[in-house]
Structure formats: structure tokens, C-alpha cells
Amino acid sequence: TLFTLCLGSNLPNGTYVQLFSCDGSFHQQWDVSGVFVSGGDQTIRLKTQETMCLDISGYGTDNGSMIWLFNCHTNDKNPAHQNQEWTWNTKSGNIVSTLSGLCMDTANDGVWDGTEIWIWECDSDSSQQWYYNETDSSIRGAQSGLCLDAGSIAPRPCDLSPFNGYPYCNPNLSIAQRVQDLVSRIPTSEMFGLFGNNANGASSIALPAYQWWSEALHGVAISPGVSFTGNTPCATSFPQVCTTGATFDVSLFAAIGEAVSTEARAFANVGHAGLTFWAPNLNIFRDPRWGRGQETPGEDPYLTSEYVRNFVYNMQYSEVDPRHLKVSSCCKHFAAYSLEDWGGYSRFSFDAVVTQQDLEDTYLPAFEVCISPDGAAGSGIMCSYNAVNGIPSCANSLLLNDYARGQWQFDGYITGDCEAIQCIQYDHHYTNNTDATCRDALSAGTDIDCGGFYPAYLSQALSHNAVNVSMLQSALTHLFSVQMRLGFFDPVSSQPYMNINASSVNTIENQALALRAAREGMVLLKNNNNVLPLKDPKNVAVIGPNADVTTTMQGNYYGQPCSIPSPLESIGTYTQTTYNIGCEIEGTDTSQFSKACTLAQEAKATIIIAGNNGTVEGEGNDRVNITWPGVQEKMIAAVAACSAGPVILVVMSGGPIDLTTMKNNPDIDAIMWAGYPGQAGGQAIADAIFGAFSPAGRLPHTVYPANYINQVPMTDMGMRPSPTNPGRTYRFFTGQSVYPFGYGLSYTTFTYQWVNLTKIEIPSSAISKVLYSGEFNRVQKPTVAQVDVVVTNTGSTWTSDTVVLVFVIGPNAGKNGNPIKSLFGFTRLFEVSPGEQISVQFPISAYDLSIVDENGKRLPDIGEWKIEVEGSQMTLNVFDEE
């Protein structure tokens, strides 16, 4: 962490211990009687706060585990929890952790104010030698003469002399000038430790150690850089991204980005996170088996691009401080990453063979929007584990240099996924020695390694002339440019974002936003006889393995929520409930079927909440099928058959589950997909069922029939249909879906009508002029036409949101590799009253009226296009003037 704020006389759990100039302050006074008095408890306590002990973070036993303050827990007899016990060898000066046998040490041999303290393998280095000063009760480093401190503000690099007089500390110079000066001052010997995510400090520029890896996919999340402790014990947990994608609400995408970044900045400002957050995940959900599809907005390139445009921009930027980034957002995983571990293929060694047509059309658009200066202007990219067309992504100069830094003008930093650089050599076997691996990754554009490969082998690679100092300085320039934009080298007084503190975490406003997001993401798939909303049933049977869950609602990459009531608990706020699990998520045990049926027979209505969880789908874990796990399908059918009242099925999952039997089963009256709806998901489910609002979410992915997985291997990256591939996503799938992308019902009805059905005529030259002007990109798409839709709530009772999706259908749709249709516009209308009409405009660009040929080139498609909204079509003709 860069700094720790002074926290007053009552220091909380998780306050990091650092070296500081000795000044006799209370947070430098230590009671060491526990280690020196016979029979002592071997603790070292803060003298003025005797309940706080020197503690190893996370019960760590590895080199680099950090030391902080934590409530003393001497009554905990678990051998693995003795992380507060120390022995002090007064002869050697070593303070040794009883748990690990490692010695208290200054991080990276630091000798300056703000140096953090960790444990490390014991040696004779003076950085591990300590002595106790009885006069002021301080513990002092023999090497530095500085004191152990648990509450001072660490000086920033440019607060110190003589560094504050150097050009890199001059905020009046350009970032390029400052970074050039900064990098030029770092001796080669100090460079190598800066190339890992857990980067060392550099005494030459007064730079403290820094952890680049913090996570915030849908809220500040558990990760090496984040500490849920002290005054940041929790954070708002928004819905998993698949549920947020189902809202089709760009204002929500932006609001979540802003809220997450505020909480992330609060964590950083109190020393409990870095400022570089590795989110979002922009990979296309191309195959329903993919375990991490839940992390994405869905299967459509346009939806994903609009998500990233709004989420990333609002993560990083605001009018509060136009000079600095609020936090840095890193878009991942570049590129064509969507396989974890399937059929003997591993993400660490998988070669994604992708056509130029599919790259241009599907896999690259969202990344260009993320990092282009005209788009979200994201400041980070993560290259992926997989190879693309034979070249590992982190050694792929075409992707990182030609596309990202070249065509798309990216000016941020590029990190490898964790251990992805070593995968170049040991998994892909693309190189056969560490020198070549460092050379290929660094020259391709990978600036930093999430892992230890660069720090371990760059020095050797330099000595063998495989890399040169210029290559190292170029990478460091990218890294420090981002840190400079984050304000690491600027005065605190010039940075409004530094005023954000822990009171900004899990605010009432953010709790309301989490509930809004969860509500908006509910997708109603079936509602026979308008059984929903339930009409005040006196009692409800709540059945299913996801009925009484909490963490499952967060999906993966989650943090610690401050409150997360289960669906069962939330339903109980509306009516009396009885509960039975029915069955586990996986397994063959049917012993609870009978009890579940009994409860369903006795209740006025039955709510079954089932689906997937992290054991079924997640990072490193693809599904082998898309059917219900375990015996859930049998349980659902059995309970539905014996229920005395209406049956509502709530599906909690990231990836699609084949719902054919549920859709066709007359015993199941309603189906609602919730995704993984976050901390407010339980309440949102209950609110939807009992009519606190009308659902308006739309599916962000296709629900395929179960036999889809038998028609195409997961390793086939092709989007377009072939003899061994029925096509992927709604744009290319030639089969019959169970529920299509964009499907969703409401408690009311809407009509969507064109304002003007007159055929629109556009010369192909108008499209060619834009496509071939040299200024065309996916990000800024000049309008060539506009269509207007009038949306009317034709119901008589419900005020409801509605989502409007508008597609283009080309003259040769579904032929010769062209999409069947493509989304080009969407909007969410809010609280449309019965009888109310709203007019919506959708611009059409040259990009929307183009196709991609086999070489990845965009071309105008001459002929009659159809513009479609909710099945209603109008015609647009692109004609050739010749």
C-alpha cells in the first residue's frame, strides 16, 4: 500500500505496521513483556491499546506475508492460528514468528519512512535485526534506526527531500516528461523487482512497494491487494455482471462503475487496497459451458461494448478531478478467452484458432471500445492465458502492439494474467528458455507479470542480451504513466479523490443501487395465466438448493458484503414460509423429495429456487453439460406435480440451463431467471414474486437445448455455422433455442411501432465513405440514418419498465457467414404508466449496415435491410449508384 491514514488513538484491525522516524507517539510504543517475561503469551502488544497484537495477515506463513495490528486472540488454541506468537533472540536481534519460523523483516530492505514490515526467511541481514528501547518503549530497526509504527501517515515519494525537487515531482510538467525523468533515475539493479504484481519499492525514487492486483468485478473483491478489515470490513456487492447485462440499462452500467470506484478509492485511501483494479471481463459468452460466462454482460458484442463504455469510463473518470484517474480499470482477458478446463484442454495451453472474420466481428470490438481514447479510455489490459492462432496472447505483438497500442492508440499498461508469462514457455512451449520468454513477452508489449517470472529472470535475460535496458524502461514508462495519472506523485492537497474515506463504502445510496440492479436484472420467462405476482398467499413453501443461500448470489470474484439476506429470508418478509432444500446442487440424494412434496401440498403456493453455484461453474471450471446438475430436474418435477398451489421456479445461474421440460411442464406456472443477483438478490426475487415491481429484464444469452453441446466442441472458436458447428449465439445459431437472447416478459403488455414505415434509401457510397475514410472505428460511428419507435404500455394496471431492442437483418442474413441478425441499439424505459406512449430514436451507422468478409474487412452490403423491433420490421435499402 502507498500510505496509511492516521486513524486516531483507537487503531482498528488491519492497521499495517511500518517503519517511521522515532517520535515517541503512542503508536510507536510496544509492550514486549509477552516475549521477555517467563511464561508470557509470546505476543507483542500496542502499549496504549493492549488488546491489539502484532499479527501476520491471513495467518500467513510465506515469505512476504504482511504484519499488521489485530485483536489479540490468545485463547484461540488452533495451531494454525498462532500468528501472534513471537520469539526474540536478543543475541541476533531476530524476532521470529513461532507459526512459520520466519523473521520479522523490512519489506524490500527499505530504510525510509513508510516501509512496510513482513516476514521473510531468516538470514544475517541487518534488516532483520531489532532492538528494544526501554526509554520510550519503541522497537527499532538496527539497519535504519527507525521505529515500528502502527498509525502514522507514510510520506508519498514526492513529499521527501531531495526527491521533491526532481522533475518527476513537478506537477506542472507533462506526464510524459515526468515519467521519462522518473524512469531515467532508476538503476538497473532496482528495475527487476518492479515487474511483478507484488512490486518491490525503489529507494532511488523513494518508491514504496505496491500490489498491482486488486479486484472489483461487481464490487470491491477478495484479492491480494484488498483487505476486508478495520474500517473497511465489507463492501457493496452488486449483482454478478451477467445479471447486470440483463438490465440493458446503460445508466445502471455507469452508476455501478461510479459506485464501485468510489468504494475502491475509499479502500485505497485507508491503505486497504491498491488503485489498479483488474476488471471488467469483456470476453464474449460464446459457449454456454464456459464457467466464467457469468462474469460477462452476455453473448452480444454490441451489448458488451456498451457495458464497457459506461462501466470503465465511470470507474476512472469524473468531473470532480479531471487531472487524475479515480482508479485504474483493466479490461480482460485479451483476447479470445472463453475456455477454462474442458475435454482435456486447459486455458493455460489452449490455442484459440480464430478467423480474421470472427476476430473483427465478435472477439475484438469490446476491447477497442475499452481502451480507445474515443471510447472508455481504459488504462489497463490483461493479456490472456490462451494462444491466438498459435501465438500466446502475452507474446502476441499483433494483439498488443499492432491492435492495442497501434490502431487503437492505447496508452496504458498491459499485465499478463497470473502466471501467463511462464505459460508461454512451460504450457504452450512457444519458447524453450527463460531468456526467450522474457524477450518475447516484453517485446510483444506485456509490461508486468502477475507472478514471479519477470522478477526472477529479467536480470539474467538482460545479462544475456535477450532484452535490453530500453525495453525495460519502455515497460516501466507504461506502468509509471498510469501511477502518475492516479496521483501517486502529486500532493494530496491537489487530489479531491483523496478525500474519499471509509464512510463512502456501502452507503444507503449504494445499497439502493444494488437493489435497483438486482430488480432490473430479473428476467420473467414464463407466467401462465398471470400467476405472478402472487396475490397474498397465507403461506408459501420455499424449496430448493438455492433458496437459502447467500454467497452463491454473488457469483465469483466477490467481496465481503455488509448484509446479504437469502431469498428464503426475504420471502419471509412477505408471508409465512416453510422450507426444505429438496436436494443438493449436485449429487444423487433424493431423500428430501418426500418432505419437500409434503410442504408443497400444505402451502398455498410453492417457490422453487434452484440452479448452479460455484462448484458447477466458475474460474477453472467449465460445465460438461447444460442440463440441471444432480437430481434437481427430478426434484423440480416431483415438487411441481404434488404442489397444491401455483409453482414458481426461480433459476439462479450464470450460464444457461436447458429449460425445455420446465417451459413445457403445465405444473410449473412461472419461471424467472435471476442470474447471480448480489447482496440484494434475495429481496429482489421476493419483490418480483410479490409484485413490488414488474420484471423487465431480458436474457443476455441464448438458452440452448441440452443437445447443443453434442453438436460442437468447446474448442471450436468459430462463431459461424459449419458442418461441425450449428453456429454460436443468437447471431449465428441455426437451431431452435429454448429461449432466445433478449427474451423477457412483464406484468403488463407493450407495443412497439415504427413512427414512419417509409423505406429508407441509402447509397452504398455513403457507407463506403465512412468505412474507408481512414477515420472509421467501432467507437465513434457516424450516423447515416435514424429510426423512431413509439412504445406504448397497453396494459391497464401495471406501471413498468420496458427494454427496447433493435436489430438489423442484412440482405444476405444467415448466408455465406453473415449474421442472422445483429443488435445495434437498445434502451431501457423507466416506469411507463398504463396507456403512456414514449418515442425513442435509434441512430443507424455505417458500421451497422456493413458486413465482415473472410479477411476481416468491413464492406457495405447492398440490398434490402430489415430493421426489427419485437418482431415488427421496416425496410432500409442500401443501393449501388452505378
Catalytic residue ranges: 417
Strands 863-869, 872-879: pairing is antiparallel
Cβ-Cβ contacts under 8 Å for 397 (sequence gap 6 or more): 443, 444, 445
Q: Which amino acid is at 729?
A: T
List 754's β-bridge partners, or say none.
789
List 331's β-bridge partners, or say none.
381
Distance, in Å, from the CA atom of 715 to the CA atom of 339, rounded to the nearest integer, reads 8
Q: What strands lie across the sheet with 670-673, from one edge to the other?
A: 523-527, 670-673, 647-652, 605-611, 539-543, 576-580
- 3-class SS of residue 151: coil
Q: Are 487 and 455 in contact (CB under 8 A)?
A: no
Cβ-Cβ contacts under 8 Å for 791 (sequence gap 6 or more): 750, 751, 752, 802, 804, 829, 832, 837, 838, 839, 840
List 650's β-bridge partners, or say none.
609, 672
Cβ-Cβ contacts under 8 Å for 811 (sequence gap 6 or more): 861, 862, 863, 864, 865, 878
- CA-wise closest residue to 262 among 500, 516, 558, 562: 500
- CA 164 vs CA 44, 423, 489, 655: distances in Å: 36, 41, 9, 52
- CA-wise closest residue to 265 among 495, 561, 563: 495
- 3-class SS of residue 722: strand
Half-sphere exposure of 635 (CA within 13 A, CB side): 32
For cell 494530496, the residue is 492
Distance, in Å, from the CA atom of 798 to the CA atom of 688, rounded to the nearest integer, reads 13
Strands 605-611, 539-543: pairing is parallel
Cell of 40: 508470557
The 10 Å Cβ neighbour count of residue 719 is 25
Read off φ and ψ for residue 779, nearest 5 degrees.
-85, -50
The 10 Å Cβ neighbour count of residue 821 is 18
Read off φ and ψ for residue 599, nearest 5 degrees.
-65, -40
**H-run or E-run covering 771:** helix 764-771
Half-sphere exposure of 439 (CA within 13 A, CB side): 16
Q: Give first-to-last CA distance, the chain, whole Å.
A: 65
- CA 336 vs CA 287, 417, 621, 821: distances in Å: 12, 14, 17, 22
**H-run or E-run covering 784:** strand 783-793
Distance, in Å, from the CA atom of 266 to the CA atom of 576, rounded to the nearest integer, reads 40
Half-sphere exposure of 686 (CA within 13 A, CB side): 24
For cell 487496497, the residue is 273
